[in-house]
Chain A
Amino acid sequence: MSTLIQATGLTKQYGSKLALDNVSFEIQKGAPVALVGPNGAGKTTLFSLLCGYILPTKGTLSILGHNPGSSELFGKLSALPQDAQLDPRFSISHQLAFYGQLQGLSSKQSQAEAIRVLELVGLAEAAKQRADDLSHGMRKRVTIGQALIGKPQIVMLDEATAGLDPIHAREIRQLVSELSSEATFILSSHDLTELERLCSHVLHLDKGKLTEHPKQNNSNEQQIGFITLLLNEQYVDVEAKIQALPDVSKVYMSQAKEYVIEYQKTATAFDITLLQFCYQQGWRYRQLVNGHTLENQIFKQETV
């Protein structure tokens, strides 16, 4: 795997506020990477640094071997910056075609490319409309489209599905999933379920500090497994009853109706045993996750 992005000791200070504190990480070519964290954690600052919109106070950042903002990255790195809008005076296809031309496409190619990306985000029929005439969700989809012009190797989407209706949010997730063989996506979102579906590598920012969570291998020990069980209702003595099952070493309630079960891996399929046990107890379950949910990995693990 080749390294796409390498950050070393990245620090960004706004006056007395430390937005990013000595952040180091590497992003390899491959599956989408999630960037998560609460509001004000430094996600947009990190995106802005990666795109070259701002300069770091300290530290180095290398993208495909170049500095952020370098002309060598034009057409290779693209982004959906949060809250950025297209010019309301021009038709959206005109602006996308202009971006295509700046990326080196001919006038004809850039027009075809504009239509192609608008088709990808389901807006080909609105190509001649101006950005002002579109709804908030449609404008968002156009700006996602602009990030797909050409053949970028890295696509950064900051809150791509925020403000989209569920159908279009799902389409965007599907689009990311389909295109992730061609480009490495870096996604920032507050929807952890969405990121869990798409990403294998999670960068968690909180108060400017970074921690990394690989999605797989929740435990270093090969013999320990985890299952997250979400029940339909609040039943009595769930923890105690599951704790009594063979091979179970620990059970705790991660949040309402959700239980994390730690067990010793044996020849018996524990998930089957657990489902049979639920059936016997008359518990209706909603979801069974093999391992921790991303949400628990990020926000609950340290409380266990």
Chain B
Amino acid sequence: MTQLHPQRLLKIAQFELVRLFLTKRGLLAVAAFAICWLLILRYPIGQAVSLISSPEIAELAQQVFGAIGLSKLLDWPEAELAMYWLIALYSFPSFCLFLCSDQLVGDKQRGTLRFLSLRATRNEMLFGRFLGQVFILAALLIVTLVAAVAVMAFREPALLMTGLSRSFMLFCYLLIAVLPFIALMTLLNTFARSARLTVVLAVLFFAGGNIVVGLLSWQIPAMAMLNYIFPGVQLDQMAGQNAGLFNSIAIPVIQTVVMLALAQRIFARSSL
């Protein structure tokens, strides 16, 4: 039951890609996502240079970005990527909560997991579905990044090579940043009764959890450490490129590992 066969794991993960890109419902979600990003690419990203570099706005931008710790982004010659980074860093984790809301729960309710469990271990199903969502998010990140780089290269072709190397770095950071959000949804999927409920529970976790931790840390300051249980705790620091490697990589990776370990414990003993 606990075995993890790489081939079966990959097959299950690949099936998730098919579910998103080759089914009607999946394609509708992709279409909605594409339209949102076309608007983002057309306006905030497409206008990034004029917004950030115009003499009228430059001083204001410097003040505003400096105040919220984003002044480093103004130094990027690839202004489109700076704008992309800010939007993607906050939108992808939120989008993730909806996109990854039905990893196991729908199949569990329908009984489809019973067919799968005769051919794959529970670990393979759990981690395969998680990995599938990671593949999907990676694919969506790549597509949006390529589009942002294309917009940038259209304005200034000379920036293409530096833009590509910077976008590769952004891709890695963004993918790592969304991992704990996907893992949180994997965890919620192990005990929730519906995909909708997993989204509700996730919202409650963030909203209610932050209030509780806020109150606790108000009474006992050391309790502020509890903020580290929330995925995305490091995003504000990452946004301004002010986060160290520990914050940018280690925190989300540790959160992901802990949530997946919890999910594994629950799923291994749950009834299908």
Partner-B contacts on A (CB < 8 A): 48, 51-55, 67, 69-71, 73-75, 77-79, 81, 83-87, 89-90, 98-99, 101-103, 143, 146
Cβ-neighbour of A69 out of B18, B107, B112, B122 (below 8 A): B122
Contact A85–B118 (Cβ < 8 Å): no
Cβ contact within 8 Å between A55 and B269: yes
* Contact residues in A for B11 (Cβ distance below 8 Å): 98, 101-102
Q: Across the interface, do A53 and B121 meet the contact criterion of CB distance under 8 Å?
A: no
Is B50's CB within 8 Å of the partner chain A?
no
Q: Are A84 and B117 within 8 A (Cβ)?
A: no
Q: Please provide the 9 A-B residue pairs with the shortest distance between their CB atoms, ordered closest to farther.
A: A84-B111, A102-B119, A53-B272, A81-B114, A89-B23, A69-B1, A84-B114, A54-B271, A71-B3
Distance between B111 CB and nearest chain A CB, rounded to angstroms: 3
CB <8 Å contact, A75 and B119: yes
List the interface of chain B (C-beta within 8 A of A).
1, 3, 5, 8, 11-12, 15, 18-19, 23-26, 107, 110-112, 114-122, 269, 271-272
Bound Cα distance from A143 to B110, whole angstroms: 13
A84-B110, A87-B110 known; A74 vs B271 contact (CB < 8 Å): no
Residue in B closest to A88 when the chains form the complex, CB atoms? B110
Q: Are B272 and A54 in contact (CB under 8 A)?
A: yes
Nearest residue, chain A, Cβ from B270: A54
Contact, CB under 8 Å: A51 / B1: no
Task: Flag if B121 contacts A102 (CB, 8 Å).
Answer: no
Complex contact A53–B114 (CB within 8 A): yes
B120 contact from A53, A81, A90, A102, Cβ within 8 A: A102
Q: Are A51 and B15 in contact (CB under 8 A)?
A: no
Q: Which residues of the partner chain B approach A143 to less than 8 Å between Cβ atoms?
A: 115
Closest chain B residue, CB of each to CB of A150: B119
Please determine whether A52 and B112 come into contact, CB atoms closer than 8 angstroms: no
With A55-B269, A89-B24, A101-B11 already in contact, the answer to whether A74 and B118 are too (CB < 8 A) is yes
Question: In whole Å, how far is A280's beta carbon from the nearest beta carbon of chain B?
Answer: 57
Question: Within the assembled complex, what's the spacing in Å between the Cα atoms of A149 and B83?
Answer: 52
Q: How far is the CB of A213 from chain B (nearest CB, A)?
A: 28
A51-B23 contact, Cβ under 8 Å, with A69-B122, A71-B5, A102-B8? no
Instruction: Give complex CA distance A54, B114 in Å.
Output: 11
Name the residue on B nearest A81 (C-beta). Answer: B114
On whether the beta carbons of B116 and A90 are closer than 8 Å, the reply is: no
With A51-B117, A102-B119 as contacts: A87 and B107 at CB distance below 8 Å: yes
Q: Is the CB of B120 within 8 A of A52?
A: no
Task: Report the separation of the CA atoms of residues A55 and B1 in the bound assembly, to the nearest whole angstrom.
Answer: 11
CB distance from A125 to the nearest CB of B (A): 22
Query: CA A77 – CA B26 in complex, angstroms?
Result: 32
A89 & B19 in contact (Cβ 8 Å cutoff):
yes
Across the interface, do A81 and B111 meet the contact criterion of CB distance under 8 Å?
A: yes
Residues of A within 8 A of B5 (CB): 71
Q: What are 30 A-B contacts with C-beta separation under 8 Å?
A: A48-B271, A48-B272, A51-B114, A53-B114, A53-B117, A53-B271, A53-B272, A67-B1, A69-B1, A69-B121, A71-B5, A73-B118, A74-B119, A74-B120, A79-B114, A79-B118, A84-B114, A84-B115, A86-B115, A87-B110, A87-B112, A89-B25, A90-B19, A98-B11, A98-B15, A101-B11, A102-B11, A102-B12, A103-B119, A146-B115
Taken together as a complex, chains A and B put the C-alpha atoms of A83 and B24 apart, in Å, by 25
Asked whether, in the complex, the Cβ of B117 is within 8 Å of the Cβ of A69, the reply is yes
Q: Shortest CB–CB separation between residue A170 and chain B, in angstroms?
A: 25
Which residues of B sit under 8 angstroms from A89, Cβ to Cβ? 19, 23-26
Q: How far is B116's CA from A23's CA once the two chains are assembled, in angstroms?
A: 27
Are A90 and B23 neighbours in the complex by a CB distance under 8 Å? yes
Cβ contacts under 8 Å, A146 to chain B: 115
Determine if A84 and B112 form an interchain contact, defined as CB atoms under 8 angstroms apart: yes
| Bound CA–CA A54/B272 (angstroms) | 7
A73 to B3, CA, bound (A): 12
* Residues A86 and B112 in contact in the complex (CB < 8 Å), given A79-B118, A98-B15, A102-B11: yes
Smallest distance from the beta carbon of B107 to chain A beta carbons, Å? 7
> Bound complex: CA of A101 vs CA of B269, how far in Å?
26
Contact B269–A51 (Cβ < 8 Å): no
A102 to B11, CA, bound (A): 7
B272–A70 contact, CB under 8 A?
no
A67-B1, A87-B107 given; name 19 further pairs at CB < 8 Å.
A48-B271, A48-B272, A54-B271, A70-B1, A71-B3, A74-B118, A74-B119, A74-B120, A79-B114, A81-B114, A83-B111, A84-B110, A87-B110, A89-B26, A90-B19, A99-B115, A102-B11, A102-B120, A146-B115
Bound-state CA distance A71–B107 (Å) is 20
A83 to B272, CA, bound (A): 12
Question: Chain A residue with minimal CB distance to B8?
Answer: A102
